[in-house]
Structure 1
Amino acid sequence: MRYLLLTLLLAFGAAPRAEQWRVVGDEQFAPYSFVPIGSERPQGLDVELVEAILAAARVDYRLRLYPWPRVKLMLERGDATMAFQFAGTPERRAQYRLVGPIRSGATVFMTTHKTAIQDWQQLGDLAPYVLGQVRGYAYEAAFDAADLGRDTSAQNPRQLVSMLLAGRIDIIVGDRTQLLYFVAEQHAEQRVRILPRPLVEMPRYVAFAKDDEAHAERFAEALRRLQQAGTLEPIYRRWGQSPPL
């Protein structure tokens, strides 16, 4: 019997273990991805969307959140199968294979009542001010390339909001919903205002390595099925968002 079992194992091989995807996202991107105090489980709109799509794709996965520079480094080194959430800029498309968008959001300029600017029409209107942005983030191609005074010392959007409220910078740029979330944390809604004209309505994607067509297509196919069935709409509504166009 022992000889027969060994013969069968050699003939057919042991059953292969299912591949586990290593999925990573930004730990400081509330309300889209974050880990609440006292919990170890990632939460947020993007976390729920990604988990629903991976479940539809029948993928075995392990999802963890890290600081944004580490997220990008893990994907670049092959230490992660997939990462989220990336802006759909030409720079990101050149670096990664993007799938989506899974959502979109308005990128806006936020300031305080101490700053004179009321709105902007061209990027040069922002030149007299110090603009705060998160180190390593991509916002919009023309803005990213513009010759403007920038402070890139913030490591995450929460820190960026704190710097604005402390008067260290004049204007900050970021996702509208997210900036307002962090302002509300500090009960500072009456101290800030958002310039009427947004920078861009930015789609957000998941990213794979540039040559990883197999994983990207598996995720993309599951996303298409859920979008066509309207399955993701309750997740968007629960977080006060609308599905991407």
Structure 2
Amino acid sequence: MRYLLLALLALSHSLAAQPWRVVGDEQFAPYSYVTPESDTPHGLDVELVDAVLREAKVPYEIRLYPWERVKRMLDRGEVQMAFQFAGTPQRQEQYELVGPLRSGSTVFMTTAKTAIKDWQALEDFSPYVIGQVRGYSYEENFDRADLARDTSAQNPRQLVSMLLAGRIDIIVGDRVQLQYFVREQRAQEQVRVLPRPLIQMPRFVAFAKGDIERARQFSEALVRLRNAGKLDEIQQRWAQ
């Protein structure tokens, strides 16, 4: 019996020592991205997650992949944690969400091609084709609305390119991110953001449903860093 107990304790210690496999979106600049020269993760959210995991004192490794693969890896149990999930009811049913890690403003961006100046109801978008990234969740009512959509974009950079090429009328996404890719193409004068945002969207990290212990460890470390002002310091550095 004593040997069995020792074996179980050794197994528990071994599992605890195994690094968490953490994954995020490789095409979500400036929040998470890889460069053509290296697959090393970069971005604001990468730094936030890195800081929290170091505070939690757990071994980990962070890798970035296409978003659809990120979700599949978490769903199949191939990784222990993933980011950056929108806090929609659908995601809350699927995963143990912890956070928010940060919040971002989800907006509509268009060009001079369209007559729309602002919107009051989702029906105002009925005359237009709205581009969105395949597999992304935006806001519950918008996601369910009966609107003409183009979901062929695989990432936000491609979505901005489609708008600039005139293939779609309007795109939806994170304000900072869309503007980042517009500046990348030196197209600031060609686009405009509608004044009213769709939502102020909190972004969460996700664990498999039922993985309460890892979710607790991350949550407690996140609260400690937020209370100490460390997360604000990281965000302010990226805002400069």
TM-score category, normalised to shorter length: over 0.9
Q: Does the residue aligned with 2:38 lie in a helix, a strand or coil?
A: coil
- Following superposition, the deviation at residue 165 of structure 1 comes to 0.4
Alignment deviations for residues 137-164 of structure 1 (CA, whole Å, 9 cap, x no partner) = 0000000000000000000000000000
Q: Deviations over 1:170-219 (max 9, x none)?
A: 00000000000001111000000000000000000000011100110010
2:142 counterpart of 1:143? yes
State the secondary structure of the residue aligned to 2:168: coil
Instruction: State the Cα distance separating 1:38 from its structure 2 match.
Output: 1.2
Aligned to 2:157: 158
The offset of 1:233, in angstroms, is 1.6
Q: Secondary structure at the match of 1:34?
A: strand
Instruction: Output the CA distance in 2 between the equivalents of 1:236 and 1:185.
Output: 21
Query: What RMSD, in angstroms, separates the aligned Cα atoms of the two structures?
Result: 1.6
- Which residue type is aligned with residue 155 of structure 1? Q
Q: How far 1:127 sits from its partner (Å)?
A: 0.5
Question: Greater share of strand residues, 1 or 2?
Answer: 2
State the SS of the aligned residue for 2:79. Answer: coil
Partner of 2:171: 172
Q: Which residue of 2 aligns with 1:132?
A: 131
Match of 1:3 in 2: none
Identity %: 68
Amino acid at match of 1:153: S
Paired AA for residue 114 in structure 1: K
2:34 partner amino acid: V
Deviation (angstroms), 1:10 = 9.6
> The residue matched to 2:201 in structure 1 has which SS?
strand
- Give the superposition deviation at 1:136: 0.4
For 1:231 and 1:155, the matched residues in 2 are separated by 33
What does 1:77-116 correspond to in 2, within 5 Å? 77-116=76-115
Confirm whether residue 37 of structure 1 aligns to residue 36 of structure 2: yes
Cα separation, partners in 2 of 1:34 and 1:228, compared to 1, 3 Å: same
Q: 1:203 to 1:11 in 2, by over 3 A?
A: closer
Question: 1:148-227 to 2 correspondence within 5 Å?
Answer: 148-227=147-226
Larger deviation: 35-44 or 196-205? 35-44
Question: After superposition, what is the alpha-carbon deviation per residue over 1:86-124, rounded to whole angstroms, capped at 9, x for unaligned?
Answer: 000111101111000010000000000111111000000
Whichever structure has more helix as a proportion of its residues is 2
Distance change in 2, residues 1:91/1:116 (3 Å) = same
Match of 2:67 in 1: 68
TM-score (norm 2): 0.94
SS in structure 1 of the partner of residue 239 of structure 2: coil
Unaligned runs of 5+ in 1: 1-8
- C-alpha distance in structure 2 between counterparts of 1:139 and 1:79, whole Å: 25
State the SS of the aligned residue for 1:232: helix
Q: Quick one: distance in 2 between partners of 1:12 and 1:24? A: 33
TM-score (norm 1): 0.92
Q: Alignment partner of 2:163: what SS? A: helix
Letter in 1 for 2:165: A
Bigger-Rg structure (1/2)? 1
Greater CA drift, 14-23 or 209-218: 14-23
Alpha-carbon distance in 2 for matches of 1:223, 1:134: 29
